[in-house]
Amino acid sequence: MPDHRHTEGLKAARLLMVLSSISPLFIIWAIRGNKLIPDIYFVIACIFIAFVPNLFLLLRIRTAIKLEEKYMLDIGTAEDHRDHLLVYLFTMLLPFYTADIGTWRDFVAALVALIFIIFLFWHLNLHYMNMLFAARGYRVFTVYAPMDENEFTGKEGYILITRRVFITPGSRLEAYRLSDTVFLEE
């Protein structure tokens, strides 16, 4: 029986992109502090976890541009996903911001919940959710190729991060590959 599952490549890149997407949480935790761990260690760890994945993301973008990892994307349909940012904020930042991590049990429970969220973001290919993109005026679209005679065309979507507010069906765009399913139009 043939296997029709798509396996996403660039696993380390995807993991670091997921971590960069949750970096605002670590900045908030660094500001709030923790009763269990001295500030010098806790704040440094939070800042490290917040900034290193974002530096990697910037390096990935720079590398894609330098190596000219450009692809022509044929647009069949495009769906704007601004609502994903709201889902991200309400499922990610708000619950963890209000979480009391004053005991070891609460701290470990918050870390385990965070590991579950990291796994889900990675498994569901939500590694494109990043506040840096939103802050720089980018929008996120799920794009599908135009339908043709190929039975698989248009079935697998990919993510296009762009400053465009609308994407016209039937158009062709040039974008840089950040992962197998995430492209950035500069």
Distance (Å, whole) CA 31 – CA 13? 27
Q: Judge whether 171 lies within some domain.
A: yes
Phi and psi (nearest 5°) for 179?
A: -150, -175
Q: Do the domain assignments include residue 5?
A: no
**Residue 3 maps to a domain:** no
The answer as to whether 101 is a domain residue is: yes
In the predicted model, residues of the chain with pLDDT beneath 70 are 1-10, 82-95, 97-98, 127, 148-155
Domain that holds residue 62: 11-184
Looking at residue 171, its amino acid is S
Q: Is the whole model's pTM more than 0.95, yes or no?
A: no
Residues 6+ away with beta carbon under 8 Å from 73: 143, 145, 158, 160, 172, 173, 174, 175, 183
Question: Taking each helix axis from N to C terminus, what angle separates 23-32 and 11-21, rounded to the nearest 10 degrees?
Answer: 40
Q: Is 20 contained in some domain?
A: yes
pLDDT tens column, 125-175: 776 777 788 788 888 888 988 876 555 455 678 889 999 988 999 899 999
Q: Is residue 159 part of a domain?
A: yes
Which of 156, 159, 150, 165 shows the shortest CA–CA distance to 178?
159
* Residue 6 belongs to a domain: no
Residue 4, in any domain of the structure: no
Q: Average pLDDT of the chain?
A: 81
Q: How many domains does the chain have?
A: 1
SS3 label, residue 162: strand
